[in-house]
Structure 1
Amino acid sequence: MKNHTLGYPRIGAKRELKKAIESYWAKNHAEEALDIIAKNIRKQNWEKQQQAGVDLIPVNDFSYYDQVLDLCVTVGAVPQRYQELIDSNFSELEVYFAMARGLQTENHDITAMEMTKWFDTNYHYIVPEFVQNQKFKLFSKKVINEYKEAIALGIDAKPVLISPASFLLLGKEKEKGFDKLDLLDNLLAVYKQIIGKLQNLGATYIQIDEPFLALNLSENEKLAIHKTHTFLRKEFPLINFITATYFDDVLENLELINTLPGAVLHIDVTRGDETQLGQILQSEFKNQSKILSLGLVDGRNIWKNDFTKSIAKINKAKEVLGADRVWIATSSSLLHVPVDLENEQKLDAELKSWLSFAAQKLDEVVLLSKLTTHPTHKDLLQFDENKQAIQERRESERIHKFKVKNRESFIKETDFNRVSAFKTRKELQKKALNLPLYPTTTIGSFPQTPEVRSWRAQYKKGSLSIQEYNQLLEKETRESIDFQEQVGLDVLVHGEFERNDMVEYFGEQLEGFAFTQFGWVQSYGTRCVKPPIIFGDVERLQPMTLEWTVFAQQLTNKYVKGMLTGPVTILQWSFVRDDQPRQTTCNQIALAIRDEVVDLERAGIKIIQIDEPAIREGLPLKRAQWNTYLNWAVNAFKLSASGVKDETQIHTHMCYSEFNDIIESIANMDADVITIECSRSQMELLDAFAAFKYPNEIGPGVYDIHSPRVPSVAEVVDLIEKAEKYIPQENIWINPDCGLKTRKWPETKKALEVMVNATQQIRNKVLA
């Protein structure tokens, strides 16, 4: 019985890759130095899996920025605007990072590619761009070179490639009048080259990721997937292709799956329909020779695997298929979990005994293989330890709070609604706030400089007192308020210098949360987050943001927004307890945020923003389950926001979302103002709001904060004018795409000056 993993975290146990790349961007490291660090991380990852006893180890799961961007470069799907860099002899890596981040130099001014969420995770990928009759070519040999590295180290390597069909489905047509799936034949020709080279190097197993098999598919999409796998099998009959799907069950596409050639089918057993395994085993699959890879070890969460339940599923599969046709694996790539629990020295022993990070999940995969074949006495002792840990967590008194459960169970329908409808609130807010046409603001955070981060680190180590720390933060907050006033912003923010992360900051002040030292997970590029662990009932014991918001408001006569993270986003961006419905946990968080909103209003804060960038990403992958999720998610937001008077203006923020399918639910959130990412899509995202006749106010992002590039006034004016085609002038706010935490101050100041100047030009034009 073989075991394998679908991918391993590539950032390094202590974010070594992030630091190396950012040093390279800052021109402190040459490309060669970055390459050495990357090779070392790959070597460590492969050897870690080899030493754990993993049979087939993934190669090409490493990336400097994003695996979809890697594939764009590999197959030559490089948009035309980057051709000038290729013609100017920029290196492959320089072109790669320009595609991810944009490039602004004396000689070049090129925008970045669009970015969006990877299915229902908090990982972001670069969206491929396709044009009619697009040609592909082998542009980068990354996968081939990394496979060579692995076999030179004696690794039993399994190259990993996103399927050609899924790659096309992940992208966007940048011209009208054609279907991106029409490009499949052109793309397959390049895959033939890549796989041919891998086969010549000795590859016998190749993992083809086909995540769309877990989604609702059109007939055309099914045909593309079938054509892909038929082509690969025909061209490479000696290769054992592993068709890997994850994040949900495949039952809707089981008939298609049973017609696909290939040696191995991998399914995610941790998510989706509980009956999935049984239905596959009773389908035509049982009469085939194909191997079934069971994704039993959760690649998306950090709870210890329940071996008793997993072994029952393995034995069920073995009874039907035989031991030779069953493999054990992680459910998905381990990209979505922290690297190693052993690095955590501050988690208490009880909580730590319930957890499993990437390194521990390797041991779980291997041990499950042993326990269901020929277990040793040591293996059986580890099984007993696992059963004890699962039982102790289930019975622990620290998880359950009667007061919290009681309050959540008595939520009333009226708790979800504002006093008056938006039309009434709009007039009252207009009179109370007296803001100009096209009010300008930012999303919330300002740059967290190395100095700010060092103060926080020193404070946590005890080398700065709370008084000294607060004095430094007060100075930084004053300077940010002064800057915003000088540049001419209409609604200010305090800058969030006291906050480490938009979710972690709140979790640290709520009961039922725990935190790691090194539990970093990649969000996009070099952006890493440390998701909190929600292990118990959630309760707010005291105000969380009141002190800093009130301090900032006292520094100015302009309005300062209260800045909060919404309940759905806190839920989605945490590792969530799996012993009660997610809806229940979300309502508990919503009640805590509601208390904070009410406190801010009582303190005189007139505008309060409750960020919900994760609403869209929380959508189940199956459309049939959307309504159930959207109902409780929207209600959780409304529960958090509806305890205030009509005159208090509630904002929310969403980023990197396709809104067309959920626009009605966004309207049902009933926020007075919604700010959204729009600049990379050139305001295309506003189509949904216009078609729906969205009634409330909107702040479409007018410049891309994920790129260091500063837009011109003309660019911002152009985007505002595009927005005017979709939204009534009186409903438009002007803001960047997202928070500015990851940017540097010089570019931030220039970009905001440009934004305000462009807004003034538009105002002058309207008033002329």
Structure 2
Amino acid sequence: MVQSAVLGFPRIGAQRELKKVTEAYWSGKATVEELFKVGKELREKNWKLQKDAGVDIIPSNDFSFYDQVLDHSLTFNVIPERYSKYNLPAIDTLFAMGRGLQRAATETSSAVDVTALEMVKWFDSNYHYVRPTFSKNVEFKLNSTKPVDEFLEAKALGIHTRPVLVGPVSYLYLGKADKDNLELEPITLLEKLLPVYAELLAKLKEAGADTVQIDEPVLVLDLPAEVQSAYKTAYEYLATETAPKLFLTTYFGDVRPNIDSIKGLPVAGVHADFVRVPEQLDDVIAALSPSQILSVGIVNGRNIWKTNFAKAIEFVNSAVAKVGAERVIVATSSSLLHTPVTLASEKKIPAEIKDWFSFATQKLAEVVTIAKAVTDGVESVSEELAANAKSILARETSSITNDAAVRERVGKITEDQARRKSPFAARLAAQKKALGIPLFPTTTIGSFPQTKDIRIFRNKFTKGEITAEEYEKFIEKEIENVVQFQEEVGLDVLVHGEPERNDMVQYFGEKLNGFVFTTNGWVQSYGSRYVRPPIVVGDVSRPGPMTVKESKFAQSITKKPMKGMLTGPVTCLRWSFPRDDISAKLQAQQLALALRDEVQDLEAAGVYVIQVDEPAIREGLPLRAGAERDDYVKWAVESFRLATSGVEDSTQIHSHFCYSDLDPNHIKALDADVVSIEFSKKDDAKYIQEFSEYPNHIGLGLFDIHSPRVPAKEEFVSRIADILKVYPQENLWVNPDCGLKTRGWTETRASLQNMVDAAKEFRAKYVASA
């Protein structure tokens, strides 16, 4: 019998229950008991949903109040002293590490002031994890029994689960050394960490767990020799009689270059992502012993398109023919964390298009159906297969997906369209003359706080409760307020604040042909930050201007330069659910042409600073070096330059990047006049040095916009001084890490004022010395 398995399920709740209670707890409007109650209800609902769907292997410990990697740091006591010294309750320590904490002293508690740990992208997804931070003196110990507790919680409901752990090698390799231990290689801590993993595994077995899913996703990366060899050390130590069976799980890529690290490991089985790399099947099978099980990741955990049952069943049958049905599991390719919870609440998507989709809840039925078809024959699920085949064919033949005019325009793209008229030095001279920007120019990344009033008015307009004229007047008033605020604070290059925008990708998708949108298709990005990715269903084009009206209005009410704000082609693509029937390159080119038209319209309207953000350009980078990565860098860079190069030298092009391990060479290739890069959570001089020779202008973000904490002016001064040790002052911009959409006005004003005051201090100092 072929079993079905799910590697993880979305924890946010179909109605964003987790977000609501978490933010209520942060604001003091919910108690810790209420927080834990909602968490327990969500776990129970998810387990029962999977059991009722007929899934054989159901995960536990895939739930988190913030991030599963951060949970492991607390579980194994990887808590830097700057957090542990406050002796906070465990849940508050978790949140302090994830988002920072600044709290005044009270009669019953001392003051707390601590920044968050670094946050980076989870491989090539838009999910962010909190990077473990190690010191050489770290004392690993079992600080929490969360995996055991949640296994027992499910067991009490009559549901036997497979607990999920991040594997020890991946956990260490994905971490970093603390700023005072930069010489430390975290993988060297493996022997200290393994006894604590073994202790946890023993507790799981004692609780009744027979198998544990151990995620080792770094096996799809280019690993140094010492990390490859660490697998033998780790799993020979952990696979004992006191531990449950271990099931090694990889996803998001090709495990073949590290296949020798898997061979001979004492694990019960191996999972691989065959949605992403179907070609690795024979090599993965060859690496298995005759008794090991193969988990076939064939239902896409990263996208929302229906699984093609005919192809999936054929693929699984090919695996069964090689190893036997008793050694095959049908599974999701990865955790379903990256997909919306359910299609059931989507009432506005056209029925024809909705029939092409499968969200997390629907994917449960997909793995069950495929497993049943392989076990009992296709006749046992003939109705499901017929309906699926009809959906697949309807999408393939739909006129919605293909636009001849768009394809023709893409075919006429020339190399010259992706080049600015002059080199940077000539452009800079023209921009200085036209814009009058001072030394140490200050700006923000784009958005300002989205208040309750903004959300109410947007909702009323969406529902037709107010007229377009009423909504436009409200938006103009919000823009006036934001512009006035920025002038009062003393910023040099302003933004309009984006009060009309719901999301930096969704907003543009709604104004482009080729997209559809969900009502409740929320996906966790980090912590309590959820997004509703648009869905690319057809060829993309721009029917008309998207941002010109608001940016032109904003520029008309100030004498300072106003930035037009756009999201770049690669980010629009990566932060949507893309098509899987045409190449990513073609989709990016279509988006680039649409944005090129918008950039040129902004310039024509008198907006001469235009920011085209590409925070996802690193995220889209193929995980391994080689021809695929080289090809991606080429077309991703060309897409950005195609979007931005149709302007005069005097128009200044900005771009923004955040929460990724960036390659300065890739950023340089974009040839933006000014780039701003998330920096506040980077705590070592090496990162500054990497960008020290960046030839154009750069702003290294100086405060964490994900935290309510307000840095003092002295912190900004110290940070800027550190940067100036390796970076020329004439090229440095001063800005936050990212947009301020999720922050409150009080903390925004205080942080920006301190930032501007620090910049003015350096400006006065360097102007005087000059």
1:600 to 602, 608, 611: 602
Local SS of the residue matching 1:194: helix
Q: How is 1:549-588 mapped onto 2 (pairs within 5 angstroms)? A: 549-588=551-590
Contact 2:697 2:733 in 1 (8 A): yes
1:185 to 180, 185, 191: 191
Contact 1:192 1:235 in 2 (8 A): no
Q: How is 1:468-547 mapped onto 2 (pairs within 5 angstroms)? A: 468-547=470-549
1:272-305 per-position Cα deviation (integer Å, ceiling 9, x unaligned): 3x32113333x242x5210000000000000000
Residue 95 of structure 1 deviates from its aligned partner by 1.1
1:171-208 per-position Cα deviation (integer Å, ceiling 9, x unaligned): 10121333211111111111111111111010001000
Local SS of the residue matching 1:155: coil
1:627-682 per-position Cα deviation (integer Å, ceiling 9, x unaligned): 111000000000000000011000000001222xx321211100000000011114
- Identity value in percent: 49
Which residue of 2 is the match for residue 54 of structure 1? 55
Q: How is 1:293-332 mapped onto 2 (pairs within 5 angstroms)? A: 293-332=295-334
Which residue of 2 is the match for residue 66 of structure 1? 67
Residue 259 of structure 1 deviates from its aligned partner by 2.1
Distance 2:188 2:261 in 1: 20
1:368-415 per-position Cα deviation (integer Å, ceiling 9, x unaligned): 011111158662111011111111111111110110000001100101
Q: Which runs of no fewer than 5 residues in structure 2 stay unpaired?
A: 105-110
Local SS of the residue matching 2:434: helix
1:321-377 per-position Cα deviation (integer Å, ceiling 9, x unaligned): 010011000000000000001110011111011000000000000000111111586
The one-letter code matched in structure 1 to 2:161 is A
2:132 to 109, 112, 128: 128
Local SS of the residue matching 1:537: strand
Local SS of the residue matching 1:260: coil
Distance 1:654 1:534 in 2: 23
Distance 1:515 1:688 in 2: 42
Which residue of 2 is the match for residue 609 of structure 1? 611
1:700-721 per-position Cα deviation (integer Å, ceiling 9, x unaligned): 1111111100000000001111
Which residue of 2 is the match for residue 259 of structure 1? 264
2:54 paired with 1:42? no
Which residue of 2 is the match for residue 654 of structure 1? 657
Distance 2:687 2:488 in 1: 31
Residue 426 of structure 1 deviates from its aligned partner by 1.0
Contact 2:373 2:380 in 1 (8 A): no
The one-letter code matched in structure 2 to 1:755 is M
Distance 2:471 2:83 in 1: 45
1:210-254 per-position Cα deviation (integer Å, ceiling 9, x unaligned): 0011111111001112211111113546x2211000001211112
Contact 1:512 1:537 in 2 (8 A): yes
Contact 2:445 2:656 in 1 (8 A): yes
Distance 2:321 2:598 in 1: 55
The one-letter code matched in structure 1 to 2:35 is L
The 1:111–1:536 alpha-carbon spacing in structure 2 relative to 1, beyond 3 Å, is: same
Contact 2:539 2:590 in 1 (8 A): yes
Residue 683 of structure 1 deviates from its aligned partner by 6.3
Distance 1:506 1:181 in 2: 43
Local SS of the residue matching 1:631: helix
Residue 688 of structure 1 deviates from its aligned partner by 5.0
Distance 1:700 1:217 in 2: 29
Contact 1:337 1:521 in 2 (8 A): yes
1:696-754 per-position Cα deviation (integer Å, ceiling 9, x unaligned): 00011111111100000000001111111222111000000000001011100110011
Which residue of 1 is the match for residue 672 of structure 2? 671
The one-letter code matched in structure 2 to 1:630 is V
Contact 2:259 2:287 in 1 (8 A): no
Which residue of 1 is the match for residue 723 of structure 2? 723
The one-letter code matched in structure 1 to 2:559 is N
TM-score scaled by length of structure 2: 0.97
The one-letter code matched in structure 2 to 1:279 is D
Which residue of 2 is the match for residue 159 of structure 1? 163
Distance 2:345 2:380 in 1: 24
Contact 1:133 1:183 in 2 (8 A): no
2:739 paired with 1:739? yes
Structure 1 vs Structure 2 CA RMSD: 1.2
* 460-469 or 633-642: bigger deviation: 460-469
The one-letter code matched in structure 2 to 1:382 is E
Which residue of 2 is the match for residue 415 of structure 1? 417
1:102 to 100, 103, 125: 100
1:21-54 per-position Cα deviation (integer Å, ceiling 9, x unaligned): 0011110100001111110000000000000001
2:639 paired with 1:636? yes
1:457-496 per-position Cα deviation (integer Å, ceiling 9, x unaligned): 1111121221221121111111110000011000000000
Which residue of 2 is the match for residue 248 of structure 1? 253
Which residue of 1 is the match for residue 220 of structure 2? 214
Distance 1:505 1:179 in 2: 42
Residue 685 of structure 1 deviates from its aligned partner by 6.4
Contact 2:248 2:271 in 1 (8 A): yes
* 425-434 or 734-743: bigger deviation: 425-434
1:91 to 70, 89, 92: 89
Which residue of 1 is the match for residue 205 of structure 2? 199
Distance 2:56 2:371 in 1: 10
Distance 1:453 1:436 in 2: 36
Local SS of the residue matching 2:86: helix
2:768 paired with 1:762? no
Contact 1:328 1:365 in 2 (8 A): yes
Which residue of 1 is the match for residue 83 of structure 2? 82
1:398 to 397, 400, 403: 400
Distance 2:366 2:99 in 1: 38
Query: How many residues align structurally?
Result: 758
* 254-263 or 115-124: bigger deviation: 254-263
The one-letter code matched in structure 2 to 1:548 is E
2:232 paired with 1:226? yes
Distance 2:567 2:157 in 1: 46
TM-score scaled by length of structure 1: 0.97
Residue 434 of structure 1 deviates from its aligned partner by 1.2
Contact 2:688 2:723 in 1 (8 A): no
Local SS of the residue matching 1:536: strand
The 1:683–1:416 alpha-carbon spacing in structure 2 relative to 1, beyond 3 Å, is: farther
The one-letter code matched in structure 2 to 1:303 is W
Distance 2:241 2:759 in 1: 57
The one-letter code matched in structure 2 to 1:99 is M
Distance 1:35 1:467 in 2: 45
The 1:584–1:685 alpha-carbon spacing in structure 2 relative to 1, beyond 3 Å, is: farther
* 454-463 or 523-532: bigger deviation: 454-463
* 177-186 or 42-51: bigger deviation: 177-186
Distance 1:2 1:156 in 2: 14
Contact 1:337 1:357 in 2 (8 A): yes
Residue 690 of structure 1 deviates from its aligned partner by 4.0
Q: Which runs of no fewer than 5 residues in structure 1 stay unpaired?
A: none
The one-letter code matched in structure 2 to 1:412 is T
Local SS of the residue matching 1:699: strand
1:109-159 per-position Cα deviation (integer Å, ceiling 9, x unaligned): 111111010000000000111111422111122111111111001112111
